[in-house]
Chain A
Amino acid sequence: MLNTKDLLGIKELTPEEIYSILDTASGFKDVLQRDIKKVPPLRGKTVVNLFFEPSTRTRTSFELAAKRLSADVVNFSVATSSVTKGETLKDTALTIKALGADFVVIRHSSAGVPHFLSRLLDISIINAGDGANEHPTQALLDLFTVLSHKKKIKGLIIAIIGDIVHSRVARSCIYAFVKLGARVRVICPPTLTPPEITNLGIEVFHNMEKGLEDADVIMTLRLQLERQSKGFLPSLEEYFYLYGLTSERMRVAKGDAIVMHPGPMNRGVEIESEVADGRQSVILEQVTNGLAVRMAVLYLLAGVKK
């Protein structure tokens, strides 16, 4: 069970709440393998996908998750909304509430926006990514995926590679894996390392080979291509040379290590195609699991409100 009306981040969850979501997701994963994939719990409820940043996969995943639960879904994206006419976030949010939404799934480039909405609205807010803060459902689906392969989280070595400083996925995953007892490492250039990140009880590596040693899970992140022009990196080629995930580098990890990526991938920048498509890759499973996890979150939050 969940104790709050919102899912703002992994930071706010207890390990028990995390396991409760993962257990529920496991039930929904079975549903998704049936011939008829729709169940009725959210019939009559409205989910609004409020996306201020371009997103295809997360939005589609939430939309499909809500539909599988029989909710009505409305997509509200910036390009087609009155935000481009200068409407404030507050007015947009109040408008959506007035339309009778029960859930707002929010993505925004500014950290803290879900918290802002949570104070403003008494309906459920689900964070689908806020700035460099959190992307909790991504971390939950990553946990789910790792669990299904490794049967446990405690004691695993999780290596997260890439642009950690700008990554909400990295932060949510760090909180999630640390809470459940894994040993988390981040591997990144010093320019993309968040200040004082080791206070979270993780290790920082600037060298790929050292960081990957004995890893059970290798998670590589998308590198935003504009990082080069902002002076974080001299070139994408140099980045790939230093931090690209290649089959050769995979050898220092455990033999049964799994490879994950939150997508969308830049092949040849952060990951080599041979690895992305290789036998250790679970990248497409992550997508399927995302659906089950998002169904679980919607389902459990609906329960809290009653």
Chain B
Amino acid sequence: MNILIKNGRIIDPSQDIDGKGEILIEDGKIMEVRRLKAEGKRLKAKNGKKNSELRTPDSELRIIDASGCIVIPGLVDMHTHLREPGYEYKETIATGTKAAVRGGFTSVCCMPNTNPVNDTISVTAFIIDKAKKEGSCAVYPIGAITKTQRNEELAELDALKRSGCVAFSDDGKPVTNSLIMRRALEYSKIFDVPIISHCEDMYLSEGGVMNEGFISTILGLKGIPKAAEEIMVARDLALCELTGGKLHIAHVSTEGSVGLIREAKARGIRVTAETCPHYFTLTDEALKSYDTNLKVNPPVRTERDVEAIKRGLNDNTIDAIATDHAPHHADDKTKEFDAAAFGISGLETAFPLSLKLVEQKVLSLKQLIHKMTVTPANIMGILKGSLSVGSDADIAIIDPEKSLEVDSSTFLSKGKNTPFHGWVLKGFVEKTIAAGKIYDWT
């Protein structure tokens, strides 16, 4: 089936496109992107052909009217927990990728803290195979840095890379042993894939369940100081400088981390960084309700940190926005705050929450889309996040003006654990096209 998307505003930062236009999809690939002047006159087509009519497709043509919508590359999430294998009661590759396409994501990179850990090629192969059979979008596994994420020996990084892992991380835990982290950054230079660091000093964070500060004091909950993150950011930046490896800092949550990364980039250190919507949307004030849906690691911080993260996004200190989608079963959240699991189910609210950055003039719409498409794709070295001719037809069609109320009970993810239930947001996805398949959410 061929698809023609008409009347939308096409924004593709990878090709510096922003304007009215049409996209023709054939056999799951983007065949043509044609830009129109405001009055509908055709401009030079991106495939190089001048002023030719859009090629009339031979077979049946499905026309999508994207009036009032933006038409953008399918979003790329470089930090997702799909939970399979091992925790299928929280999420599966099938449900997690459904949630992804609902949120406009057509590529997700899944973290290795499954059971068993993705530290061997058989687990990687299982994930890739399962995603092919049951997945709704592209899935790129992230391999573990150390065997069983135990901080002792490196996993077989090359074998994992060859079997399809696009990056390495012990996410969920830090690599506490600095020597192992050094070796990982060094060894991974063989194939130039990023080492993704979950920055947390486990001694400082021990027992902590929220940001340490005035709010933790009045709630009587044990705090996780910002220093627990910043110490590890500083360590990893030093190791990155020492080794020349490719470092990516996951889920930046503090003002201090933003400053360290900014300074490192200015010195030419090869580091990239991501943050997540909750870190520029929420502060620890929200925890006064003891709502366990707000329990996340790293914890949501303070207004100062929120502002610093916004500045970091604005000046590209923070390269990408990822979800850290961490779905949990209600049983894991309906507990004492201390005992509840960490994590937010994020795929289905990430774009609307991030769109607020445009309203707040932190980012232009194009910059925002950059940080959720081609930037994460480039960091992970995957050919995604672009509408260039010949690419997989991965597209999100979004009405940036239509408001909807978040209802966690309608999430396609098994994880209904969101602190944003009941929030009214703009920018939910109208339609997603993943490898040429259309999902209509209206």
Given A132-B220, A195-B214, A200-B218, verify A110-B337 contact (CB < 8 Å): yes
Q: Which residues of B contact A196 (CB under 8 A)?
A: 213-214, 217
Instruction: Report yes or no: A115 in contact with B334, Cβ–Cβ below 8 A.
Output: no
* Chain A residue, CB-CB nearest to B225: A195
Instruction: Report yes or no: B220 in contact with A111, Cβ–Cβ below 8 A.
Output: yes
Interface mask (B199-233 → A, CB under 8 Å = 1, otherwise 0): 00000000000001110111111110000000000
Closest-CB distance, A179 to chain B (whole angstroms): 14
CA distance A89 to B217 in the complex (A): 24
Q: Which residues of B contact A199 (CB under 8 A)?
A: 214, 217
Instruction: Report yes or no: B213 in contact with A116, Cβ–Cβ below 8 A.
Output: no
Interface mask (B354-366 → A, CB under 8 Å = 1, otherwise 0): 0000000000000
* Chain B residue, CB-CB nearest to A132: B220
A116's partner among B212, B219, B222, B290 (CB-CB below 8 A) is B290
Given A88-B335, A108-B336, A112-B290, verify A195-B216 contact (CB < 8 Å): yes
Closest-CB distance, B254 to chain A (whole angstroms): 15
Could you tell me which residues of chain A, from 101 to 119, have a CB within 8 Å of some CB in chain B? 108-113, 115-116
CA distance A196 to B335 in the complex (A): 28
* Chain B residue, CB-CB nearest to A174: B218
Q: Which residues of B contact A109 (CB under 8 A)?
A: 338
B220's partner among A89, A116, A171 (CB-CB below 8 A) is A171
Instruction: Report yes or no: A88 in contact with B220, Cβ–Cβ below 8 A.
Output: no
CA distance A113 to B340 in the complex (A): 12
Q: Which residues of A contact B213 (CB under 8 A)?
A: 195-196
Could you tell me which residues of chain A, from 81 to 138, have a CB within 8 Å of some CB in chain B? 88-90, 108-113, 115-116, 130-134
Whether B63 is near chain A, meaning CB under 8 Å from some CB there, is no
Given A195-B212, A196-B213, verify A111-B337 contact (CB < 8 Å): yes
Whether A194 is near chain B, meaning CB under 8 Å from some CB there, is yes
Instruction: Report yes or no: B219 in contact with A195, Cβ–Cβ below 8 A.
Output: no
Whether A11 is near chain B, meaning CB under 8 Å from some CB there, is yes
Whether A73 is near chain B, meaning CB under 8 Å from some CB there, is no
CA distance A113 to B337 in the complex (A): 7
CA distance A90 to B331 in the complex (A): 10
Closest-CB distance, A224 to chain B (whole angstroms): 14
CA distance A195 to B213 in the complex (A): 5
Instruction: Report yes or no: B334 in contact with A194, Cβ–Cβ below 8 A.
Output: no
Q: A11, A115, A200 — which one has the most chain B CB atoms within 10 A of its CB?
A: A115
Instruction: Report yes or no: B339 in contact with A90, Cβ–Cβ below 8 A.
Output: no
| Chain B interface (Cβ < 8 Å from any Cβ of A) | 212-214, 216-223, 289-290, 331, 334-339
Can you report 5 A-B residue pairs in the complex whose CB atoms are below 8 A from each other? Answer: A90-B334, A110-B336, A111-B338, A168-B220, A197-B217
Q: A108-B336, A131-B220 are in contact. List 14 more A-B contacts (CB 8 A).
A: A110-B337, A111-B337, A112-B221, A112-B337, A113-B336, A116-B290, A116-B337, A130-B220, A132-B221, A133-B220, A168-B220, A171-B217, A194-B217, A199-B214
**Top 8 closest pairs, chain A to chain B, by CB:** A133-B220, A112-B290, A132-B220, A196-B214, A110-B336, A111-B220, A194-B217, A110-B338
